[in-house]
Amino acid sequence: MDANNSIRRGSRGRGFMVKVVSLLMALALPVVLGGCAGKPAVVPGPEMEFDSTTFSFDQGTYPTELGLFSDYRLAPGDLLDVLFQFSTWQEKADFKLAVDHTISVHFVHIPELDRTMPIQPDGRISLPYIGEIYVVGKTVPQLTAELRQAYSKELLDPELYVSVDDFQASIKELKKDLHTAPRGLSRLVTVRPDGYATFPLVGDVFVAHRTIPEVNDALNLRYNETLAGLHVDLFLEKHAASQIVIAGEVRKAGAYPIAKPITVFEALALAEGQQPTAALDEVLVVRRHNKKFVAHQVNLKELLAKNEGSAFFYLRPDDLVYVPKRGLSKAALVMDEISQILMFRGWGFSFSGPLFDDPIFGNPVPE
């Protein structure tokens, strides 16, 4: 048995495969063998172990030993719960002025020059004699020193100091805008069909095909730049179902949700079995990889006969399982049927298996 064509199996993996075999004997085998003559491959006696496999580019990493998806990546239709936490009570080593702050400039000997004002959207304030001055990003001591130097040209003894009267305007506004949930201040956000989600304050962020921790870290970086003291925790409130598509000579073709990795046999069981005209030795699995659709031929008859090299083939979300009709041996005809299902537009093709010895599959279509 070629080690590159099978996924490592530990003790848990063996137990998982026994469950799979039991499931197949209970569900899939009666469906698959119902119209077939001959001696069944699995006979009474000792337990049998089956290898598992998948596409070459996913070998060794999928499925995981526990029979789970390796990681969950966000997809259109997912509903995210963004929990906001405000740490305004924490001490900050270098407090810097921002556009939502209100500051006061106090003159010790000339109180009539005192001014209290919000920082303008352009980051400036306006003061008597010296006019506008840019203050955003500066600490209070830095601004105080800069103002004393500027006023030294106008006043003999420019004794003044700066205070921050309100530095939570944006936080107050955000708290008011957010929905109140049992877990605290939160907002429900939906991943759009274009892969983006719109978050308060920071706007659109591309989240599709990224894990929740990845998106959470990216959000906190952007929120920290926008508003100091704001931290978010991201939760998956509701996920769009991971699906596979089963088509061809099956009793009930369609899209089926899957909650964990399943085999081609289990996929047939979801579709209520195959039609009497199905060619079980030429079942195709089509998977998108990079910018191509890659197809692999699975021989279910060899698996049932426990022939050398046969293994349970595992599916990923968005895989297409196509069961062709017996006698449809020309690769071009099979390709035509699959292309009508997938509606290829600008994607390359890569096919492997005895069915695709036809020269037209020698080179993928240019991208």
Are residues 198 and 83 located together in one domain of the fold? yes
Are residues 247 and 273 located together in one domain of the fold? yes
**CATH number for position 350:** 3.10.560.10
H helix runs in the chain, sequence order: 11-23, 29-33, 140-151, 169-177, 212-226, 264-270, 300-304, 331-342
> What value does the mean pLDDT take over residues 285-296?
85
- The domain boundary, picked from 216, 238, 260, lies at 238
CA-nearest of 159, 144, 148, 131 to 97 is 144
Q: Half-sphere exposure of residue 96, counting CA atoms within 13 Å on the CB side?
A: 13
In a domain? residue 74? no
**The 3-state secondary structure of 80-132, one letter per residue:** EEEEEEECCCCCCCCCECCCCCEEEEEECCCHHHCEEEECCCCCEEEECCCEE
Are residues 140 and 251 located together in one domain of the fold? no
Are residues 251 and 356 located together in one domain of the fold? yes
Q: Which of 38-52, 234-248, 331-345 has the lowest mean pLDDT?
A: 331-345
Q: For the whole prediction, is pTM greater than 0.95?
A: no
Give the Cα separation of 138 and 169 in Å (integer): 18
pLDDT at 202: 84
Count of structural domains, the chain:
3
In a domain? residue 44? yes
pLDDT at 134: 94
Are residues 279 and 331 located together in one domain of the fold? yes
pLDDT at 96: 80
In a domain? residue 206? yes
Give the Cα separation of 136 and 115 in Å (integer): 17
pLDDT in tens, 190-205: 999 999 999 987 889 9
Are residues 329 and 357 located together in one domain of the fold? yes
Position with higher pLDDT, 330 vs 65 = 65
pLDDT at 153: 87
> What does the mean pLDDT of the chain come to?
75
Are residues 84 and 221 located together in one domain of the fold? yes
> What value does the mean pLDDT take over residues 233-258?
89
pLDDT at 288: 85
Q: Order of strands, edge to edge, in the sheet holding 115-118? A: 115-118, 102-107, 160-166
Are residues 207 and 83 located together in one domain of the fold? yes
pLDDT band per the 50, 70, 90 thresholds, residue 21: very low
pLDDT at 178: 62
In a domain? residue 40? yes
Given 3-state DSSP classes, what are the helix, strand and coil percentages for the chain, each rounded to the nearest 5?
30, 30, 45
What is the domain extent for residue 112?
Answer: 102-167
The owner of tokens 């040209």 is 153
Task: Tell me what percent of the residues of the chain surpass a pLDDT of 70.
Answer: 66
**CATH number for position 214:** 3.30.1950.10
